[in-house]
Structure formats: structure tokens, C-alpha cells
Structure 1
Amino acid sequence: MASQRRSGALELCKTTITAATSAVAAAMLLRRVAADLLPAGTPPLIGSLLLLPPPSSRRHAVVIEEFDGAYHNRVFLAARTHVSTLLAAAPGVPPVIKATLPRGADQIRFSMRPGTDVVDVFDGAELTWRLSSQGRRPWDGGAAREVFKLSFDAKHKEMVLGAYLPFVMARAEAAAREQRQAKLYSNERGKWRPVTLRDASTFATLAMDAEQRRAVVDDLDRFLDRKEYYQRTGRAWKRGYLVHGPPGTGKSSLVAAISNHLRFDVYDLDIGNVRSNTELRKLMIRMKNRSILLVEDVDCALATAPRRGADGGSDETSPAAKNREVSQFLDSL
């Protein structure tokens, strides 16, 4: 009898456990279905009755750290630029924000303090940017390393990863191009030495025939728009201009105006300072993309450039022979 009672109790326990497991599984399934079907603004009471998790647990997040190993994280830099524009324009900004004027900039930059957040709206979805501190930078006086946390509703995950973050990157790159100041590089001992081009000429301030100015600007814009065409046809994406005239007629001002219009840096190549064709190639390789190569007084420079002798030295006695390697290299540009 005792054995039968133990067996009956064991069967009852198994039945109870099976029923409870089925109930829990059904509840979990109901939660998943209800979470997918109910709108984001479902009242908390209804969510509790349906055994739904709280709204905070249905949110996803992307963590963007300031550094990627030893290098700055480009996504973090883009996020910081994007958040700065939100702080300047959005009404619901944190009560306290930071304002700085970086060296060389002409616009105030706004930034968040750690522990604060700001909301952005993209394609009808609300996304929250939050800034926090994480660790220290030993090489920067122990300053705190920062990290952005972008949180959003789980249903917007594909939109955020596929559209929103690329939009933030593109917008930051466009802002950087608009705000950057062009630089003038000069070659010295085989290296480029930069200085910032300040108060450089523009096409609006350039003393130039209106029709000729319009023709140059249209040609520059056409050149920018046809980058894909050059790549598709296997041609180098470059444009050349020959500017001539006596000193003081605005040749350098025209180059500065082109630089301002294209947002390209200028590399002012002094041929007389180039000691060999190898050095010239290295200078060309060290030029950045989207830049202007300026060769001033190229006819005079080549006429006086020494020719390298058979022993590798300079043949100062034959200036008329010129530096043929450098000349051929320039002819190919």
C-alpha cells in the first residue's frame, strides 16, 4: 500500500510539473506574439496582464567607443558631430551642455556631458543618444574615455543598422568638408610642410571676367560630378589647367579660389627643391586624395634644373640638358 501511495504521489508530481511547464511555455509564446503585434505605446497595465516584459527590455542598443584599439573610432567621431548638430537644433536638449570653439574653427561646437542623453527622430523612429565615461586615457593626462550608447526599439534594428548609422556617417563627412580649411603644402627636403590657407580668394571676390568665371566653375563642377565616369572608363580622375601671365595678374589667387570651391588642399611644388626623380615620386605618393598640385614657373624651373650625371651626381655644367626625368614626369600629369 505504501508503495502504491508513493507511486501515485510521484505520478501526480510529474503531471503537475508537466502542466506547469506547458503553462510557462504558453505564456512565453504569448509574450513574444504580443510584443511583436502590440504598438510601442501599449499601456503598462495591459502589458502586465499579458505578461509582457517592460518597454525598457524590448529596446536594443549600439555601443560606440571612442577608440578602436589605438586609433580614434571614426563612427564615434561621426556620432559626436551628429549629436552636436542635434544639440544646436533640437528643442529637447539636456539642461546642461558644453560649448567650445576649437582652434581654427569659426563656429561654436556643442557637446554633451557624460550621463546625459538627447533624442533624435529618423524615419518616424525615436532614437536616444547617451554619453558616458569608460576608463582613462593614460597618454592624455588621465582624461576619461567616452562612449556613446544609441538605444532604440527592437523593431527598428534593421533600419538603424542599415540606414540611420550610414546617414550619420555621411552627414558628418559632409559637415567636415564644409567646415575644413584648406591647407597649402610646400616641399622642403623631400617632405611636405603644411600651413593653413586663411582668407584665401574665392570666385566671388576674384577680379575675373564674369563669363570666364562661370566657364571655370561649370568645368570644375562637371569634373567633380564625373568621378564615377572616370572610374568606369579606367581613366585617372584628374583635371589640368595651364595658367600663364606676368606676375601680379592673379594666377595664385585663381588657384586659391579653385581650392576654396573644391575644398581641396594645394600642394605647391618647387621643382628647384627636388633633388631627384625618386624624391619627386615620393612627394607625389605622399599627396592626399582630392588635392591640387601647383607647379609654379615650371618653364623657368626646368630650364635651370641640373641634370644628373652618370655617377649619380649633378651635372651643373649642362643646364640646357635639363632634368629629363622630372620633365617627363611632369608631362605625364
Structure 2
Amino acid sequence: MLFSKDLPSPTSIFTAYASMAGYMMMIRSMAHELIPAPIQEFIYSTLRSLFFRSSSTTLTLTIDDDNMGMDNEIYLDAQTYLSTKISPDAVRLRISKGHKDKHVTLHLSNGEIVVDVFQDVELTWRFVTDGGDKTNGGGDDDGKSEYFELSFDKKHRDLVINSYVPYIESKAKDINDERRILMLHSLNCLRWESVILEHPSTFETMAMEDELKREVIDDLDRFIRRKEFYKRVGKAWKRGYLLYGPPGTGKSSLVAAMANYLRFDVYDLQLASVMRDADLRRLLLATRNRSILVIEDIDCAVDLPNRLEKQPVDGKNRGETQGPLTLSGLLNFIDGLWSSCGDERIIIFTTNHKDRLDPALLRPGRMDMHIYMGHCSFQGFKTLASNYLGLNDTTMPHRLYPEIERLMEGDVITPAQVAEELMKSEDVDVALEGLVNVLEKMRFKAGESSPGMKKNESRLEMEEMKLRRDSEGSPKKNSKRIKKLVLFWT
């Protein structure tokens, strides 16, 4: 073989290789000993980026449906937004319709793609379901997950993050406002369960004084439009309302009216079902923005330990009493650090006995507006008469209106009692006469007499005087008169 005498022998090659391998092992050991691990990782990553640079210019963002056990708002907004961008050429879609929806809603199925354009930049969306399509709506229970893939050129990353994503959030909010279905969430084994909120109460149907009604509406409007104000003054974007007054005065109906007016979901929190502060924190973190949290009958919902009372720490019972639900924990969620975990939230407490509440619950910043829901006034009655009997206040008032107005002076009857009487007959005269009779009975029980009652009382007095004058008459005759008197009274 040519030049074979110039080539090293196999033995020499093997010896040189063994020596080099030994040196490399020694250098590697010294590097591990002398160079810290973070610096080693930096060197390796730099070398990889220099010699193994990817030639792809596409960046793909993954938007999961789950965000550490909570809903991913970006995923929900993307789902809503893309439902209006589906191409007619799509070959596989999901379809849904709620019983209150006017139209069906289309959603992407597994593998379907939507191409969107934003500021002359092309963006490609792809919907993916791990493990196949969800055909049973099982959610997390079936072990499957859903996510969107958003792909675009890497050079547009800042545009997508800072402009396109906020644009999607804004458009999704507008779409949801147009076709929003209000939900009522209640507790079941420390998890929220939802049903459609179909309560028909509105401010127009509420038996409230017009001035109070306007104050509440103005306060709600002011709260909604002051997002930047709350941010500027350093306060969480939330508002607290205390509704107090006797039973049957419309506290629950006012909550529904506020939800319908704002188009907010309602979370009905039963404190008796919550045993620990940690459970309460987890529940409140699971509530969504643009919602109303309601705690009804706060004075008797649960016996909250006072903030100043020391909790038992006896080792024997420590496992049972560790971290109970406390007033301090509840207050922290109302206006403490945890209250800032969410925007556009309203908290409502209701009670029949305001005087029984801890003063710490009532101060501004926790319950910002106190609304007294009292007995039915004549103005409230006219609203109910319009709702139930179709009586329009602009027409000639009914002949019984003056009598009803006089009988309703003071705290006599609740709106619920008035509504019950007006529902007993579709005949206006019969319904109003029945209400007059009820009002007269209530005033009599309260120790007040109507003109009709006074007339009866005068007749009774005359009978009694006649009995006294005729005291020398026969016992049988007097007995008949007494019997007649008793029958007349009853």
C-alpha cells in the first residue's frame, strides 16, 4: 500500500486515543470540581445555541384550559372569540345550545385550525384535545385536557403578547355581554355547582322607594366605570353592600335585580358548609370576575369565633380544631390581601338583625353601602299593583287607593305580604278589597283602629250600657243580649 510506512501503527493509534481519553476524563473531573453548576449550564447552553441553532422562525404558544386548578381566562376568551372566526371550510365542529340561547354556538373540534389576521400579521390557531374528543362533557373527571396552539412568526411575539391577546380579551367580553347567561353557583362538598339564574326580579319590579332605587343604581354604575380609579388609589376593584331589614322585605329579590342589571353571576356562599379558613380561601379563589358573592343571614349563618378569642390548641384536639373558620379569616377575604385576587367583584351580606353583627363587618371598605329594606310603603304598593294587577299610576287612581294609603302609614305590612294578597284574585276590586281587610286586621292587632272598627266599637259600648241599665231585668233576657254581643264581636 502506498505511503503505508508513513502511517502510525494501530498500537500507536490506540495508545494515543487512550491517553487523550484519560486527559479528557481528568479535565472533566476538574471542571466539575472547580466550575459551579450554573456556570457549566450557561457554557453548555451557549455552545448549543451557537452550533445547534434551530432554523425555524415559528413560535407556538400553548393555552391550556386549566390554570393550576382554576379556569384559564385566556383559554375561555379564546374559545369565545374563535367561535366567531370559524371558517366555512371546517370539516369537524362541536355544536351547543343552552335552553335560553337564541342561536347555536359552534366550537372547534380536535385538530381543527383557524387562521386569523391582526394588523397584517397572520396567526394560526389549532385546537387540541389530549386523548381524543370530549364527547361526554366530562371535564377534568375523564382525565382529558384541552388546549389551543397559537402559532406565528417569532418576530411578532411582542405584538401578540401586548396587543393581540388584550384584543381577544376585549372582543370576548363584548361577545359574552351580548349572549351572556347568568349562572347561580352554590356549594356542594366544597365545590361550586352551577345552574342558570332565571330570577325575573329587576329594579323596575322592586317595591322600593324611587329615591333609594336610584341611589343603588347610581352606586352600581359608578362602581362599574371606575376601574382606573380603583387602580389609581390602590384599592381592590370590589364593592360591599349590607341589606338589612325584616323578613319578606325583598332582600333576596334586590340581589337578583342587581345581578340582572349588571349581568353578573351570583355565588351563594353558605358559611355553615365551610369549616376552615383554608376552605373559604380556596372557594373564593375559584370565583370568577364580574360576579356577586352573597352570604345571606350572616348573623345566624354560622357562629364565627371572635378575632380576639384564643382558639384551643390542646394537643389532644389539635387535629380537630386546627385552622377553623374565623371572623378574622372572613374579614381578610373581604378587604385583606386576598380580596385583591379578582376584579369587578361585589360582596353582599343580608341580615334581619343588623345590631347582632360584629362592628368589624360593618365599617366602610367591607360593607360600603348599608341598604335598609323596610316595610312596604304606598309607593311600593303602587309598583306591586302595576306588576300584579296591571294598574297604571298615570290613569285614574282606584277608588280604594286613598284608604290603602292611609292604612299603610308606618310599618304595617311587608312587600311579600302585599304581593301574596294581590295574587289571590285577578279581579282588581276583589284583590284590593282583600288587601284593605288584611291591613285593617294588622292595624287592629297593632292596637290601632280603622273607622270601620271604631264604628263597631261604639256599637259594642252602646250594648254594654244598655245591659247595665237593664241590670234589673230577667237573667234570661240579659243572657240573650250577652250572647248576641259575643256573636257580634266574633
Q: From 328, 347, 366, give the equivalent of 1:281.
A: 328
Q: Is the 8 A contact 1:269 1:294 kept in 2?
A: yes
Partner of 2:293: 266
Q: Over residues 38-88 of structure 1, what are the superposed CA-to-partner deviations in whole Å (9 max), with x where a residue is unaligned?
A: xxxxxxxxxxxxxxxxxxx9863423153668646554343223212323x
The equivalent residue for 2:164 is 164
Which residue of 63, 66, 69 corresponds with 2:64?
Answer: 66
For residue 253 of structure 1, what is the aligned residue in structure 2? 253
Measure how far apart 1:275 and its partner are.
1.6
Deviation, structure 1 residue 181: 2.6
How many angstroms apart in 2 are the aligned matches of 1:119 and 1:82?
Answer: 12
- State the AA in 2 paired with 1:296: T
In structure 2, relative to structure 1, the CA distance for the partners of 1:73 and 1:198 (3 Å cut) is: closer
- Give, in whole Å, the separation in 1 of the partners of 2:112 and 2:182: 31
TM-score for the superposition, normalised by structure 2: 0.41
Q: Give matches, 1:10-159, under 5 Å.
A: 60-66=58-64, 71=69, 73-87=72-86, 92-101=88-97, 108-134=104-130, 140-141=141-142, 143=144, 145-152=145-152, 156-159=156-159
- Deviation of residue 163 (structure 1)? 0.9
**Paired position in structure 2 for 1:293:** 348
RMSD of equivalent CA atoms: 4.3
Q: By how many angstroms is 1:293 displaced?
A: 2.0
Contact 2:304 2:327 in 1 (8 A): yes
Gap change, CA 1:158 and 1:183, over 3 Å in 2: same
What is the deviation of 1:294?
Answer: 1.8
> 1:202, 1:147 → 2: CA distance?
38
Distance 2:117 2:233 in 1: 41
Tell me what 2:182 maps to.
181
Instruction: Label 1:273 to 1:218 Cα distance change in 2 as closer, same or farther (>3 A).
Output: closer
Residue 331 of structure 1: which of 352, 357, 362 is its match? Answer: 362
Residue 184 of structure 1: CA displacement?
6.2
CA shift digits 1:241-297 (9 cap, x unpaired): 565665544333222211333313232243123223363333455677513222221
Q: Tell me the secondary structure at the aligned position of residue 252 of structure 1.
A: helix
Aligned residue for 1:95, secondary structure, equals coil
1:176 and 1:96 map into 2 onto residues whose CA distance is 24
2:105 corresponds to which letter in structure 1? R
Structure 2 SS opposite 1:121 = strand
State how far apart, in whole Å, the 1-side matches of 2:233 and 2:181 are.
Answer: 31
Q: What's the offset of the Cα at 1:221?
A: 1.0
Contact kept in structure 1, 2:181 and 2:196, CA below 8 Å:
no
Q: Return closer, same or farther for 1:212/1:286 CA change in 2, 3 Å cut-off.
A: closer
User: Any conservation in 1 of the 2:113–2:127 contact (CA below 8 Å)?
Assistant: yes
Q: Would the aligned equivalents of 2:242 and 2:348 in 1 still touch at CA under 8 Å?
A: no
**Contact 2:246/2:352 (8 A) holds in 1:** no
One-letter identity of the residue aligned with 2:233: T
Indicate how the Cα distance of structure 1 residues 192 and 293 shifts in structure 2: closer, same or farther if over 3 A, else same. Answer: farther
Work out which of the two has the higher radius of gyration on C-alpha atoms and give 1 or 2. Answer: 2
* Mapped partners of 1:121, 1:130: distance in 2: 14
Between the aligned residues of both structures, percent identity stands at 35
In 1, Cα distance between the equivalents of 2:107 and 2:243? Answer: 45
- Aligned residue for 2:392? none
The answer to whether the 8 Å contact 2:238/2:347 transfers is no
Tell me if the contact between 2:113 and 2:125 (Cα under 8 Å) persists in the aligned partners: yes
Instruction: State the one-letter code of the partner of 2:64.
Output: E
C-alpha distance in structure 1 between counterparts of 2:215 and 2:114, whole Å: 46
Question: Take 2:142 and 2:186, find their aligned partners in 1: how far apart are those partners?
Answer: 32
Give, as a single letter, the amino acid of the residue that structure 1 aligns with 2:182.
Answer: Q
> How many residues end up aligned between the 2 structures?
247
Q: Tell me, yes or no, if the aligned pair for 1:64 and 1:76 is still in contact at 8 Å.
A: no
Q: Tell which deviates more after alignment, 172-181 or 161-170.
A: 172-181
> CA 1:197/1:172 → structure 2, altered by over 3 Å: closer, same or farther?
same
Query: Residues 159-185 of structure 1: CA distance to partner in whole angstroms, max 9, x if unpaired?
Result: 223211232234445656773634366
Query: What secondary structure, in the 3-state scheme, does the structure 1 residue paired with 2:260 have?
Result: helix
Shift of 1:110: 1.8
CA distance, structure 2, for counterparts of residue 173 and residue 84 of structure 1? 13
CA distance in 2 between partners of 1:197 and 1:297 (Å): 27
Query: For 1:238 and 1:98, how far apart are their aligned partners in 2?
Result: 36
TM-score, structure 1 length as denominator? 0.56
Q: 2: distance between equivalents of 1:247 and 1:166?
A: 45
Q: Which runs of 5+ in 2 are unaligned?
A: 1-54, 265-290, 306-324, 367-490
Deviation at 1:129, TM superposition (A): 1.6
Q: Is the 8 A contact 2:61 2:150 kept in 1?
A: yes
Q: Confirm or deny: 8 A CA contact 1:84 1:109 kept in the other structure.
A: yes
Distance 1:81 1:234 in 2: 31
Structure 1 residues 228 and 106, CA gap change in structure 2 (3 angstroms): same
Q: Distance in 2 between matches of 1:209 and 1:192?
A: 38
